[in-house]
Amino acid sequence: MMKNLKFPGQQDKILNVITFGCQMNKYDSETIAGLLQDYSLTDKPEEANLILINTCAVRQHAEDKVYSLIGRLSLIKKDNPDLKIGICGCMAEQYGENLLKRFSVLDLVIGPDNIYKLPDLLQEIYKGKRIVSIGHPAESVRSLPTKRVDKIKAYVPIVLGCNNYCSYCVVPWTRGNIRSREPQEILNEIKNLVNSGCQEVTLLGQNVNDYGCDFKDSQISGLKPIDFCKLLIMVNELDGLKRIRFITSHPKNFKSELINTISQLQKVCEYIHLPLQSGSNKILKLMNRGYTVEFYQQLVEDIRQKIPGVSITTDLIVGFPGEEEEDFNQTLKAVEEIRFDSAFTFKFSPRPNTLSATYPDQLTSEVKQNRLERLIAVTSRIAKERNSRLIEKIEEILVEGRNPKDTSFFMGRTRTDKIVFFKASTDSLIGKMVKVKIIGSGTFSLKGELL
């Protein structure tokens, strides 16, 4: 760890972490802050003497935002030559040395599985070195200190990497193959969070329901390998914890045992994010998803039957190579039939190393944009219709704080992960479970009345 390291021309250590991407990236940023406890944090890049950009490589748009940001930060570095700038996360892993060659303002490129090396690497860059640290060392599956932004809710990774190799996805390259954390490490982390006032945890993994598939008998104190169902049961038994969520699940491995387990565990919320990606079997096969639309629809039916009131959300990609109008219409048909509570919709973006980037019949940006707009119209209408069914219902929400856009309202989430805004008179409700009556609904949120 860094001890009393003095920077040229600087008296204080001031860190600015800028985060792009998924929940795992947000957790990684909290780990960065935890590893660098001797830094004070700022959200203003011009005040910092160390800026770390935690990046996403899932889509080109996310990368373009980072490139634009580097350009703006280079102007700050002109005024402050002692400023050090690093790229972390999936773009770092994807492009490595090329980032240093492309951007002279960068001092450090460090992949997500090498964050634990950060304190030592910073000592080297302050000696004038420019460093790349990527790859997936075994040491990356370890408990690291974190500096939590949210005291009420927390993300807890349980499994790193992915073995599925969907043809559009960079995760196996940027985060490696699957590696599960030891269950006791996970439980200890959650216990510490609860002792600090945390009410809700979200268990994270690229494919969270694959947890434990890489374990061998000898790894878990001589016991038989643990799986995701057993882990959920263990977390559910922790005293003081009020709610458990998890993301993201892969449909092909969402077994009936998992559905039954969720239905029986009081703390596990009735919320499942289950990416469909496409409503065309032809496209699903090209994506290497490992299931059919019919399989997915039956899975949703089983989930809704055994978990009453469950909220199901999804991811959808339009404009995949070879997607014809009929394939897109099949996606619209599937969305109409399944009726998701909400959907994250994306235009296909070819990514380095992925098989789909080499496919023929790449679609134009105009076709992708047209289909995206049509899909959003359908998913938004259905989400609004599903939310309207909750009017006059009583819901329990965990109060997260005041609405930053209108501080006269508080905000919280139902067990089904729907945002509710309501009026109250005191901040003492923050972090508490309260009952509200739903009196209004929209596409993305609900309005409630405190009971």
User: CATH no. for residue 400?
Assistant: 2.40.50.140
| Cα-based angle 285, 288, 293 (whole degrees, multiple of 5) | 50
Within this chain, do residues 120 and 131 fall inside the same structural domain, yes or no?
A: yes
Give the closest residue to 328 by CA, choosing from 295, 283, 360, 362.
283
Within this chain, do residues 269 and 382 fall inside the same structural domain, yes or no?
A: yes
What local confidence, expressed as pLDDT, does residue 217 receive?
A: 54
DSSP 59: S
Show the beta-strand stretches assigned E in 71-214. 84-89, 108-110, 131-133, 153-157, 159-160, 179-180, 200-204
Asked if the structure places residue 2 within a domain, the reply is: no
Asked if the structure places residue 333 within a domain, the reply is: yes
What local confidence, expressed as pLDDT, does residue 1 receive?
A: 36
Within this chain, do residues 315 and 405 fall inside the same structural domain, yes or no?
A: no
**Angstrom distance (rounded) from CA 37 to CA 2:** 10
Asked if the structure places residue 8 within a domain, the reply is: no
Match 């949703």 to its residue by tokens: 300
Query: What does the pLDDT profile of the chain (451 residues) look like in tens digits?
Result: 333 444 444 458 999 999 998 899 999 999 999 999 999 999 999 999 999 999 999 889 899 999 999 999 999 999 999 999 999 999 999 999 999 999 999 999 999 999 999 999 999 999 999 999 999 987 777 788 899 989 999 999 999 999 999 999 999 999 999 999 999 999 999 999 999 999 999 999 999 999 999 987 545 555 557 999 999 999 999 999 999 999 999 999 999 999 999 999 999 999 999 999 999 999 999 999 999 999 999 999 999 999 999 999 999 999 999 999 999 999 999 999 999 999 999 999 999 999 999 999 999 999 999 999 999 999 999 999 999 999 999 999 999 999 999 999 999 999 999 999 999 989 999 999 999 999 999 999 999 999 9
Q: Which of 364, 386, 408 is the last residue of a domain?
A: 386
Give the tens place of pLDDT for each residue, 41-52: 999 999 999 999
List the end-to-end C-alpha distance of the chain, in Å, as a whole number: 50
Within this chain, do residues 316 and 212 fall inside the same structural domain, yes or no?
A: yes
Residue 235 C-alpha from the chain's centroid: 20
Q: Which of 139, 172, 189 is the last residue of a domain?
A: 139
Within this chain, do residues 296 and 183 fall inside the same structural domain, yes or no?
A: yes
Match 């996310």 to its residue by tokens: 62
Q: Which residues contact 286 (CB under 8 A, 6 or more apart)?
A: 167, 320, 321, 322, 356, 359
What local confidence, expressed as pLDDT, does residue 219 receive?
A: 52
Q: Which two tokens stand for residue 82?
A: 């002692």
> What are the backbone angles phi and psi of residue 201, rounded to the nearest 5°?
-120, 145
What local confidence, expressed as pLDDT, does residue 138 receive?
A: 75
Give the closest residue to 323 by CA, choosing from 351, 294, 346.
346
Instruction: Give the three-class secondary structure for 133.
Output: strand
Asked if the structure places residue 4 within a domain, the reply is: no
Question: What is the crossing angle of helices 325-338 and 365-388, to 10°?
Answer: 10
Asked if the structure places residue 1 within a domain, the reply is: no
Give the bridge partners for 50, in sequence order: 15, 84
Within this chain, do residues 174 and 295 fall inside the same structural domain, yes or no?
A: yes
What local confidence, expressed as pLDDT, does residue 220 receive?
A: 52
Asked if the structure places residue 162 within a domain, the reply is: yes
Within this chain, do residues 25 and 52 fall inside the same structural domain, yes or no?
A: yes
Q: Which of 345, 365, 386 is the last residue of a domain?
A: 386
Within this chain, do residues 253 and 380 fall inside the same structural domain, yes or no?
A: yes
Q: Which domain holds residue 409?
A: 394-450
Asked if the structure places residue 31 within a domain, the reply is: yes
Number of domains in the chain: 3
